[in-house]
A and B are shown apart, each in its own frame.
Chain A
Amino acid sequence: MNNQQKLFLLIIFVTLVSLYIDLPQTSFDFSLFGRQFKKKLEIKQGLDLQGGLQVVLQAEMGDIAENQRDTALEAAKNVIERRVNFFGVTEPVIQTSKTSGRHRIIVELPGVQDTEQAVDLIGQTAQLDFREGVFEELPPESTPEPDASGVGSGQASSAQITGFKETDLTGKDLEKAEVTFEQNTSAPQIAIKFTDEGATKFEEITQRNVEKPLAIFLDGQVISAPRVNEAISGGQAVITGQFDLEQAKNLAIQLNAGALPVPITILEQRSIGATLGQESVQKSLIAGIVGLGLVAFFMIGYYGRLGLLATVGLVIYGLITLALYKLIPVTLTLAGMAGFLLSIGMAVDANILIFEKIKEELSMAKPLTRAVEKGFGRAWDSIRDANICTLITCFVLFNPLNWSFLNTSGMIRGFALTLGLGIFISLFTGVVVTRTLIRVFYK
């Protein structure tokens, strides 16, 4: 078997493997060198295709020491990650980025439709703390109306509540929070369980505040201020407040996941309905098939049998590219699909260059096989030179080194990645595959 036949078999093998990977629902499950490989292969769709929510958050680092900021950002990211996991989003993407001293967190939640709840869930600091009342002894003459201020001040003392002061009991002392329902009104409420340490603190605080209100604050806002009847041991308590079920669920998640170490604000929010994405996918697919048909029609019409072989090469190109998208995996966005389709149009460029050179050689009355070989040889320099520029642009657009002075937007990266990948693969299929096909079939 000579090299040419080996290459031909290799191409058939690669094509078949690609075809197998391209089939929907392909998955891997095998062990190699004692390691288990298990992977379900599917094309990852970007947010714009499957619908969902993307939020860019800015961490307000004003109060954090310079050297603590990176840690704070990482911690904030972890908290958000935990919250999102509790919320039950599949395959969330949470990244941090630093741009000229600004700290950001980018959150992508595929498939999320209730954006209001999700934004509330992510964005709130959720700093819970318990505060005890501060009292001021009232002058004797004003005692007749001790409750005028309305806030449940202790009846036993002849003092008026003037504010609350923080205790050492905060959200950090929680072990667990969950939504329960008040027995009489069935209003949602949150049952909390303290850690052992928290339980001790809680007991001490309740002990010294019997007959006085103990306020529960969330992000500096009072949610409720129940009156303590007796010291509570055992570390269980209930937060009641004016929340609906969704808010209660969010709060429970936030308390479980912990408070954000830094306050965050929303810089950018994009949400896309699932229908728009699916429509786009379908339309792009149809456009791709029609475009591919036109290209094939043109190539066969203009170059005859050579064009047919180029079209076969193009189909192989498509199969390999899709397989790589699944293997890498490439998250496919709308712009990425455009990049892929564009790369199909460009993939035949190599073939066209080669065929034109072959025609030139043939017109100089060279025998066919010599003309084909010379045509490939002469075209290669042009093909290489011509593609370098596009690759450079793809590099700048994709920004693989995460340079902070360049864009990191998913849309643009998706386009650059599919286009760049397309050029590499098309160099292989346009030159190696087509040449082998021609050597084998074009005689």
Chain B
Amino acid sequence: MVDFMRYKKIYFLVSGILLVPGVISLLVFGLKPSIDFTGGTILELRFEDNDQFSILNFQTEDEKVISAQKSGEGTYLLKIKTINEKEKNEIKNKLAEKFGEVEEIRFETVGPTLGRELLRKTLVAIVLATVFILAYIAYQFKDKMYGVCAILAMFHDTLILLGSFSLLGHFFGIEVDTLFVTAVLTTLSFSVHDTVVTYDSIRNAVKKNPKAKFSLLINLAINQTLIRNLNNSLTIIFMLLALVLLGGQTIRWFVVALLIGTIAGTYSSTFIATPLLLVWKSLEKRKDG
């Protein structure tokens, strides 16, 4: 049997290394909200003839256009202030005059009020889901120790996900949209899902051998559940990886977010949630002694 808990400092260190840059980035740069939250327009166009392109500089010619970037083979993504159908067609005509035949692939425009409203609804959804999950944890683990540690592990995963996207946003311009929020909520539930399985096993071990040393029982439980946790996550990761590499571009970052969340969730249930129990026990002992 491998003594996993001997290396608990290393696990905390690994998490620290992963967490700190992300958290700093979150505090300094924050997240980059998409038009879902801020309002605005994105217009994706395909150009028949994409050899001689100065479209990337197009924003200097039309003051409504905020930025332009290449999004694929011959396709470009324009970010524009909130505009209506007529203004869109003006911009399209202007582009067609300069660069030849344009095909509209996608046009999304969101008014600023709707963006703010969505932001509020999203926050409510996150709070509500968290409260439900906390209530479930409280019910599931009547022991305070398990509940608190499961929640800490859940925050750990969420912070890793938010931090990664803050970094991705700052350095690669990746935006956070409603789908990202969905991914965060899914990560919350994944995280708890994995932790529940691991803790179940620990509590079973404690029930069977009430006199044994806690760290020993934890090791026993981890040896039992680690393979399951890994295998289960692997199958999910296979699916998500296939989607990231082969799936459509529109949901790519959504899937990346799910992937980061899944990996963090798997890691934390064994290597964060469980050693936290030990830390809790030793703190309790210190208080008592």
Contacts and interface: CB of A to CB of B under 8 A. Distances in A.
B49 interface: no
A66 interface: no
B70 interface: no
Contacts of A300: none
A411 to B, nearest CB: 6
Contacts of B120: 405
Given A335-B182, A396-B129, A407-B178, A291 B140 contact: no
Contact of A115 (B107, B118, B133, B238): B107
B200 A269 contact: no
**Size class of the contact patch on chain B:** 35 or more
A56 B114 CA distance: 10
A387 B186 CA distance: 12
Contacts of A349: 232, 235-236
Given A269-B109, A349-B232, A397 B85 contact: no
B250 A346 contact: no
A221 to B, nearest CB: 16
B215 interface: no
Contact of A353 (B103, B109, B197, B240): B197
A48 B241 CA distance: 22
A378 to B, nearest CB: 9
B124 A406 contact: yes
Given A267-B114, A407-B118, A356 B193 contact: no
A384 to B, nearest CB: 10
A392 B107 contact: no
Given A283-B247, A407-B121, A344 B109 contact: no
A348 B232 contact: yes
A36 interface: no
A152 interface: no
A271 B104 contact: yes
Nearest to B84: A266
B110 interface: yes
A99 interface: yes
A385 interface: yes
Interface in B182-204: 182, 185-186, 188-190, 192-194, 196-197, 200-201
Contacts of B248: 279-280, 283-284, 334
B276 interface: no
Contacts of B258: 338, 342
Interface string A280-295: 1001101110111011
B209 interface: no
Interface stretch (B18-26, B50-58, B223-231): B223-231
Overall SS of chain B's interface: helix
A382 interface: yes
Contacts of B103: 273, 275
Interface string A254-281: 0000000000001111111101100110
Given A267-B113, A268-B114, A335-B251, A386 B197 contact: yes
Given A392-B136, A396-B128, A397-B182, A268 B110 contact: yes
A393 interface: yes
Nearest to B118: A407
Contacts of B201: 382
B196 A386 contact: yes
Given A345-B240, A393-B186, A405-B124, A382 B196 contact: yes
Contacts of A279: 248
15 contacts: A272-B106, A276-B105, A280-B247, A280-B251, A287-B242, A341-B242, A345-B236, A389-B136, A389-B192, A392-B132, A392-B189, A393-B129, A393-B185, A396-B125, A411-B182
Given A120-B85, A290-B246, 9 more contacts: A302-B231, A335-B179, A335-B251, A338-B258, A344-B239, A356-B225, A382-B200, A389-B189, A405-B120
Interface of A: 48, 56, 99, 115-116, 119-120, 266-273, 275-276, 279-280, 283-284, 286-288, 290-292, 294-295, 298-299, 302, 334-335, 338, 341-342, 344-346, 348-349, 352-353, 356, 360, 381-382, 385-390, 392-393, 395-397, 405-407, 409, 411-412, 415-416, 419
